[in-house]
């Protein structure tokens, strides 16, 4: 089941963090870069981030989430995370579909991930996103940007 999360509540932010950290540690293993910003978050920084969060629950346990921001006619997906215990269950795809419902009146949805994060890039491409560019953030880190026209 997918529900809107009130990330401003610290107990919700803590539960999100309990999914975010193990999920992004897996991304680190793909991209080989340990300093990604989601690993530096705290419950307080999440509670204050201003993003809209959708949570996917399995038996009342948060198994994955997606966050986004909307600006005029663009939705930017900020985070997609699934706890490693729940990988390969269609959770990320379901969260993307749910987020797209909120973007029905917009023109574009944008997302980015580490260039070497092939599972994430594959997921986005399978759900209709197209690669737009790769950006060198620093010598050890490339980011792939993707978008989907709504």
Q: 133-143 pLDDT, tens per residue? A: 999 998 888 99
Could you give the CA distance from residue 42 to residue 81 in angstroms, rounded to a whole number?
15
Identify the CATH number of the domain in which residue 95 sits. 3.40.630.30
Structural domains in the chain (count) = 1
Q: What is the dihedral of CA 37, 134, 89, 69, to 10 degrees?
A: 60
Looking at residue 21, what is its pLDDT? 97
pLDDT mean over 108-118: 96
- Residue with structure tokens 């629950």? 57
Q: 39-91 pLDDT, tens per residue? A: 999 999 999 999 999 999 999 999 999 999 999 899 999 999 999 999 999 99
In which domain, by residue range, is 135 found?
2-149
Looking at residue 10, what is its pLDDT? 96
Using N-to-C axis directions, what is the helix angle for 91-102 and 118-126, rounded to 10°?
Answer: 50
DSSP 8-state code for residue 86: G
């Amino acid at each position: 089941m997918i529900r809107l999360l009130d990330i401003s509540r610290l107990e919700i932010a803590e539960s999100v963090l309990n999914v975010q950290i193990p999920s992004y540690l897996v991304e680190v293993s793909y991209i080989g870069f340990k300093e990604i910003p989601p690993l530096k978050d705290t419950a307080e920084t999440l509670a204050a981030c201003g993003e809209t969060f959708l949570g996917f629950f399995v038996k009342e346990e948060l198994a994955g989430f997606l966050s986004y921001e909307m600006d005029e006619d663009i939705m930017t997906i900020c985070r997609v995370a699934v706890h490693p215990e729940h990988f390969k269950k269609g959770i990320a795809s379901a969260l993307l579909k749910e987020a797209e419902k909120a973007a029905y009146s917009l023109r574009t949805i944008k997302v980015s991930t580490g260039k070497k994060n092939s599972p994430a890039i594959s997921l986005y491409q399978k759900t209709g996103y197209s690669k737009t560019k790769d950006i060198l953030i620093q010598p050890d880190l490339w980011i792939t940007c993707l978008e989907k026209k709504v």
